[in-house]
Amino acid sequence: MDVTISPSRVEGRARAPPSKSYTHRAILAAGYGAEATVLNPLVSADTKATMRAVDAFGGETDLSADESRLTVAGFDGRPDVPDDVVNCENSGTTMRLVTACAALGDGLTVLTGDDSLRSRPQGPLLEAVSELHGRGESTRRNGQAPLVVGDGMTGGTVSIPGDVSSQYITALLMAGAVTDEGIDIELETELKSAPYVDITLELLADYGIETTTTDEGFSVPGGQSYDPAGGEYEVPGDFSSISYLLAAGAVAAADGERVVVEGARPSAQGDSAIVDVVREMGADVAWDHDAGELTVSQASLSGTTVDVGDTPDLLPTIATLGAVADGDTVIENCEHVRYKETDRVRAMAEELGKMGAEVTEEEDRLTIHGGRTDLAGATVDGRHDHRIVMSLAVAGLVADGETTVTGAEHVDVSFPNFFETMASLGASVQRS
Annotated binding-site residues for 3-phosphoshikimate read 20-21, 25, 165-167, 193, 313, 340
Instruction: Indicate the pairing of strand 35-39 with strand 232-234.
Output: parallel
Q: What are the residues whose beta carbons fall under 8 Å from the beta carbon of 169, sequence distance 6 or more?
A: 160, 162, 185, 187, 191, 197, 200, 217, 218
Taking residue 167's Cβ as centre, other Cβ atoms within 10 Å add up to 24
DSSP structure string for 67-81: SSEEEEE--TTSPPP
**What backbone phi and psi angles, to 5 degrees, belong to 326?**
-80, 145
Q: Are 321 and 301 in contact (CB under 8 A)?
A: yes
Residue from 252, 259, 253, 251 nearest 301 by CA:
251
In angstroms, rounded to a whole number, what is the distance separating the alpha carbons of residues 150 and 109?
6
**What backbone phi and psi angles, to 5 degrees, belong to 287?**
-120, 110
Q: Is the peptide bond before 146 cis (omega within 30 degrees of 0)?
A: yes
Taking residue 350's Cβ as centre, other Cβ atoms within 10 Å add up to 16
Please report, in range form, the residues annotated as the binding site for phosphoenolpyruvate.
20, 92, 120, 167, 344, 387
In angstroms, rounded to a whole number, what is the distance separating the alpha carbons of residues 424 and 216?
49
- What are the strands of the beta sheet with 212-213, ordered from one edge? 156-160, 183-187, 217-220, 212-213
Residue from 184, 238, 271, 313 carrying the catalytic annotation: 313
Q: Is 108 exposed, middle or buried (0-12, 13-18, 19+ CB in 10 A)?
A: middle
Q: Is the peptide bond before 316 cis (omega within 30 degrees of 0)?
A: no
313 given a catalytic annotation:
yes
Catalytic positions, written as ranges: 313
